[in-house]
C-alpha cells in the first residue's frame, strides 16, 4: 500500500472516530476494510453524510445505535451504499420542500390561495348579519 493510500485511510479512520465517538484502533484488518471501502469510490463527504443520516435516525428512534459500529458502517460496503442512497434521498426531499409562508407554499404547489376560507376577526363577526340574527334568536329563547 502506498503512503498516499495509507494517509487517506488514516484520515478516514480519524474522521470515523470523530464523527461516531467510537475510539477504536486502526489495525491491519481495518486498514484492509478501509482500502476496499474507499476503492468503491467513497470518501470523507460520503462518510459525513451517512453518519449524519444515521444519527438523525437514532435520535428519532428509527435506527439502532449499533448502525454506527465499524463493522456495520464500514465493514459492509453494500450496506453503506444503501445507507448512502437513503441519506441522499432524504437530502433531496429536504431541499425540495417548499419554504415560506402558507400562501407562497400553496402557490408553489399550484393550489388556490384565495382567502375564501380565511378566519374572520371578532369585529367582523360581531358586525356581520349572521351574528345579529343569532342575538335576536337568543332573545326569543329566554
Task: Provide, rounded to the nearest whole percent, the portion of the chain with pLDDT above 70.
Answer: 84
What whole-number distance in Å separates Cα of residue 32 and Cα of residue 36? 6
* Structural domain that includes position 11: 3-100
Inside any domain, residue 51: yes
Inside any domain, residue 127: no
What whole-number distance in Å separates Cα of residue 6 and Cα of residue 90? 32
Inside any domain, residue 108: no
- Please state whether the predicted TM-score (pTM) of the whole model is above 0.95: no
Q: What is the CA radius of gyration of the chain?
A: 29
Cβ neighbors of 140 (< 8 A, separation 6 or more) are none
pLDDT at 53: 95
Inside any domain, residue 130: no
pLDDT at 123: 79
Neighbours of 88 (CB within 10 A): 14
Inside any domain, residue 26: yes
Longest dimension (CA), the chain: 96
Cβ neighbors of 70 (< 8 A, separation 6 or more) are 16, 22, 24, 30, 33
Inside any domain, residue 74: yes
pLDDT in tens, 44-95: 999 999 999 999 999 999 999 999 999 999 999 999 999 999 999 988 887 7
The average confidence (pLDDT) of the chain is 87
Inside any domain, residue 54: yes
The grid coordinates listed for 119 are 378566519
Inside any domain, residue 22: yes
* Domain count across the chain: 1
What whole-number distance in Å separates Cα of residue 138 and Cα of residue 49? 64
Amino acid at each position: 500500500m502506498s503512503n498516499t493510500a495509507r494517509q487517506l485511510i488514516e484520515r478516514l479512520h480519524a474522521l470515523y472516530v470523530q464523527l461516531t465517538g467510537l475510539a477504536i484502533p486502526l489495525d491491519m484488518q481495518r486498514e484492509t476494510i478501509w482500502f476496499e471501502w474507499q476503492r468503491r469510490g467513497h470518501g470523507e463527504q460520503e462518510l459525513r453524510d451517512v453518519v449524519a443520516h444515521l444519527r438523525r435516525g437514532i435520535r428519532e428512534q428509527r435506527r439502532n445505535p449499533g448502525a454506527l459500529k465499524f463493522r456495520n458502517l464500514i465493514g459492509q460496503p453494500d450496506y453503506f451504499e444503501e445507507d448512502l442512497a437513503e441519506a441522499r434521498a432524504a437530502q433531496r426531499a429536504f431541499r425540495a420542500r417548499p419554504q415560506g409562508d402558507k400562501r407562497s407554499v400553496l402557490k408553489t404547489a399550484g393550489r388556490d390561495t384565495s382567502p375564501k376560507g380565511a378566519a374572520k376577526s371578532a369585529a367582523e363577526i360581531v358586525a356581520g348579519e349572521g351574528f345579529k340574527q343569532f342575538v335576536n334568536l337568543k332573545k326569543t329563547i329566554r
